[in-house]
């Protein structure tokens, strides 16, 4: 049962009147709002904390009503990535990327949402009902409608997508911290199984970074390629701490070096990152148009827009100076190019800063705000970005923009944490 606005408001008021981090559902160790202390010198919007939290809660409520759906019978839940009809083919209903986002949202909003634990377990049940080919601990990347059932219609649908699996693994580590692993699901064991499978299926041992997915074979043109939006260094630090596997520190170092080399060579004035990069021996270059998804494969578009979010989150949680250094030129260019008005930031740029089209999306402005938090000189810019995100009507975004809006606002409000 979804709560109406009045009910959510009463729950939120009770949280503050009774005392801060009250767990509404039984057993949360990190109930929302958790108010993480981020790295020294970082920013938050110039709003009262109660207002930041209540805005996130309202955005979450809207997101959940729009995108979190149940399968026939109700035992499983999934994120309806095609609720807005943007995916092709139209029969697409779920992708692993969105599933990872949904699991993160559920575990982070637990406490404020008394249904979060049940939702998380129902999302987990759907995950395990749709295993990837050859890797049962990973998720098949796409599910489509066949009557009332959701199935992998093609053999290719049973391959993996690295970004979804990384978020799923982190959410399971968070679930272990949030609820413990003594219940119906051993979250820690499932997290470690997922991390081991990511290592086997989705890391590139030759280059030390990530492959695009389990489907990439040595003879394919995507061999050696990687996607900067898969670089989630705070995730990898959590994987290393949980698994004691030194590989994750090595991948963290390799991905930071790759991004530093790319921006130094191809976007020194803007700090922009490309959607995809292709391997050239031991080096990388931005992918050419049509490399995998379309004409913008080598530009800062709907994949790379997430990179500032992932790097910024690493700096906020761990204080890794490599993230701050990478984001510094990007922050300066972004504020300058739109003259302090977030509505003027376009949904995509070539690496030299040329706009791809006149369009805006929270998929871009949400990550901009996380990046701005790393620079003490960007308070006014951060405040403008928060106001823009808070006021943006959900009807102006689809699943992707609305979901990134929610997750980045959780970070910006101070409510993301490291398991």
Residues taking part in catalysis: 97, 163
d(CA 196, CA 202) in angstroms, rounded, equals 10
Residue that has been written with the tokens 């997508």 in this structure: 161
d(CA 295, CA 166) in angstroms, rounded, equals 26
Dihedral sign for Cα atoms in the order 376, 379, 384, 389: positive
43 and 380 Cβ atoms separated by less than 8 Å = no
d(CA 419, CA 412) in angstroms, rounded, equals 18
Structure tokens belonging to residue 389: 């995100």
Dmax (CA) for the chain in angstroms is 62
94 and 122 Cβ atoms separated by less than 8 Å = no
Other Cβ atoms within 10 Å of 153 Cβ, number: 16
Other Cβ atoms within 10 Å of 327 Cβ, number: 24
Other Cβ atoms within 10 Å of 141 Cβ, number: 26
DSSP string, 92-160: EEEEHHHHHHHHHHHHHSBTTBTTHHHHHHHHHHHHHHSEETTEEEEE-SEEEEETTEEE--SGGGGS-
Give the residue among 120, 126, 158 at the shortest CA–CA distance from 142: 158
Please calculate the CA angle 256-249-102 and round it to the nearest 5 degrees: 80
- Name residues whose C-beta falls within 8 Å of residue 45's C-beta, 6 or more positions apart in sequence: 52, 382, 383, 386, 412, 413
d(CA 345, CA 369) in angstroms, rounded, equals 12
d(CA 356, CA 347) in angstroms, rounded, equals 7
d(CA 95, CA 46) in angstroms, rounded, equals 36
Polymer length in residues for the chain:
419
Peptide bond into 242 cis (omega under 30): no
Structure tokens belonging to residue 78: 């999934």
């Amino acid at each position: 049962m979804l709560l109406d606005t009045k009910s959510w408001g009463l729950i939120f008021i009770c949280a503050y009147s009774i005392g801060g981090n009250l767990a509404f559902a039984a057993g949360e160790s990190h109930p929302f709002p958790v108010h993480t202390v981020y790295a020294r010198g970082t920013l938050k919007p110039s709003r009262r904390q109660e207002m930041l939290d209540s805005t996130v809660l309202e955005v979450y409520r809207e997101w959940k009503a729009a995108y979190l759906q149940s399968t026939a019978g109700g035992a499983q839940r999934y994120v309806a990535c095609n609720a807005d009809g943007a995916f092709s083919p139209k029969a697409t209903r779920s992708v692993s990327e969105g599933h990872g986002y949904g699991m993160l949202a559920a575990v982070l909003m637990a406490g404020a949402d008394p249904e979060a634990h049940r939702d998380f377990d129902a999302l987990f049940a759907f995950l395990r009902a749709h295993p990837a080919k050859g890797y049962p601990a990973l998720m098949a990347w796409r599910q489509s409608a066949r009557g009332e059932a959701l199935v992998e219609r093609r053999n290719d649908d049973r391959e993996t997508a690295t970004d979804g699996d990384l978020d799923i693994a982190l959410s399971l580590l968070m679930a272990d911290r949030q609820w413990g692993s003594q219940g119906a699901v051993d979250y820690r064991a499932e997290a470690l199984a997922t991390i081991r499978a990511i290592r086997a299926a989705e890391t590139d041992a030759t280059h030390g970074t990530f492959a695009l997915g389990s489907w990439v074979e040595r003879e394919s043109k995507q061999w050696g390629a990687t996607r900067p939006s898969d670089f989630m260094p705070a995730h990898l630090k959590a994987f290393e701490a949980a698994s004691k596997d030194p590989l994750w520190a090595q991948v963290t170092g390799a991905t930071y070096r790759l991004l530093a080399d790319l921006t130094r060579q191809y976007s020194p004035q803007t700090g922009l990152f490309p959607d995809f990069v292709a391997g050239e021996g031991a080096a990388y270059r931005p992918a050419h148009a049509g490399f995998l998804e379309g004409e913008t494969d080598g530009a800062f578009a709907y994949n790379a827009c997430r990179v500032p979010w992932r790097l910024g989150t690493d700096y906020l949680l761990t204080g890794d100076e490599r993230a701050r250094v990478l984001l510094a030129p990007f922050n300066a260019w972004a504020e300058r190019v739109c003259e302090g008005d977030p509505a003027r930031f376009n949904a995509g740029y070539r690496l030299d800063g040329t706009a791809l089209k006149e369009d805006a999306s929270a998929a871009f402005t949400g990550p901009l705000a996380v990046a701005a938090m790393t620079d003490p000189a960007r308070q006014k810019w951060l405040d403008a970005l928060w106001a823009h995100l808070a006021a943006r009507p959900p009807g102006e975004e689809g699943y992707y923009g609305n979901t990134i809006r929610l997750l980045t606002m959780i970070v910006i409000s101070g409510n993301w944490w490291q398991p």
